[in-house]
Amino acid sequence: MLASRLQWTVLIIAVAIVVWRVALALIARLFARRFVSAHVPRVATFSTLSKSLVAAIVLVSAALAFLSVWDVDVTPAVWSAGFVTAALAFGSQNLVRDIVTGFFFLFEDQYDVGDRVELVTGGGQIVTGTVVAMELRTTRLVDPSGRFVIVPNGNVALVTNASRMPTVVGFTLQLPWKGDVVDMRERIEKNAREIVQKAGKSDARIGVVLYESSPEDARFRIELRSANADADLEQSHLRERLTQRLQADGWLPAGPPREGAS
């Protein structure tokens, strides 16, 4: 009888180890192939969480099987574990709230490592900075002064992500070739940036790409992104100022003179 129980115990341990190893390999392969290239920081957190859950499930299952083999009545242990779990949950409400909120932050992709965010806590405190680490319990930032700030996820009441700005300006310009395409793109981007900065929009992001081309001319796509959409330059304003600069540079014809101009 004892030998049989020992054999079953060894078998349970071996099966638990094999299942654990196989599960870890499958999780690593799944995340590596499908998700890591798109969202490395968030997926790394999800991968760690998945491995921890699998380890806990395997450990509990093996423990219950072990107790069953040795004819140990697990009913009192289950009731005791239930009371202990309830007591721990009641005493660690903030910890549970942080973890649950952090899970939803990760799942909903509200922000990611490298994003510039503004977090408003439940007490009304505003924390601004760049996200350097995301965990289930906390979010770690570096503020504009270079200080390392750790914010419990459960304390975050409002998230503003300045790195995910809406496109409020987008248009194309068709220009005759004026040299190398890279030089033309950089010149257009420089002019657009100067126009935006003079308008007081230093936080705006300018993007210029070659949209279409032919032997005679090139068409560039200009986009303006900003967190403050209501106060951004209107599309016609930016197009007008940019065209005016390109006319002054000789890239575009000046057009007919205005009526009444000398």
In this prediction, residue 220 has a pLDDT band, given cuts at 50, 70 and 90, of: very high
The residue whose two tokens read 């002054």 is: 248
The closest alpha carbon to 117, from 87, 156, 65, 60, belongs to 156
Other CB atoms closer than 10 Å to residue 134's CB: what's the count? 21
**Residue 166 DSSP class:** -
Residue with tokens 């959409």: 229
Q: pTM for this structure?
A: 0.47
Please give the pLDDT value at position 36.
Answer: 47
pLDDT at 238 over 70: yes
Confidence of residue 256 (pLDDT cuts 50, 70, 90): low
Q: Is 54 buried (19+), middle (13-18) or exposed (0-12) by CB count in 10 A?
A: middle
Query: Count of residues for the chain?
Result: 262
Q: Read off the pLDDT band of 142 (50, 70, 90).
A: very high
Q: What is the pLDDT of residue 141?
A: 93
Q: Please report the pLDDT score of residue 229 as a whole number.
A: 46
CA distances in angstroms from 34 to 37, 43, 172, 261, listed in the order given: 7, 10, 35, 63
Confidence of residue 165 (pLDDT cuts 50, 70, 90): low
Assess whether pLDDT exceeds 50 at residue 38.
no
